[in-house]
Amino acid sequence: MPIIIPDALISAASLVNRMWGSYGYGIEAVSSAGDGSCLLAVVAGDGSRFHVGSTRHGNTVHADTQADCERALAQLIHEERRP
């Protein structure tokens, strides 16, 4: 089972709170894409959803679908590993 690094969870949740918290958006599910990263499924009051991802270093992305978010997150993780 992949682990989630606390910094990744805090960064992703902080982005949700900062950008959409006052509009009633909330976190519906938390998962990991591996490498300590964090994926959040975010739901609005009207039922619409989007996804927020964060790397173990706190870099965040957001996208309309989980697949798009996972691709963007994988790209961030790849860039973080480059020397």
Query: What's the predicted TM-score (pTM) here?
Result: 0.89
d(CA 11, CA 59): 7
Q: What is the pLDDT of residues 21-78, one digit of tens each?
A: 888 899 999 999 888 899 999 998 888 999 999 999 999 999 999 999 999 999 999 9
Q: What is the pLDDT of residue 3?
A: 87
DSSP state of 55: -
Would you kindly state where each structural domain of the chain is located, as residue ranges? 6-81
Tokens of 76: 């961030």
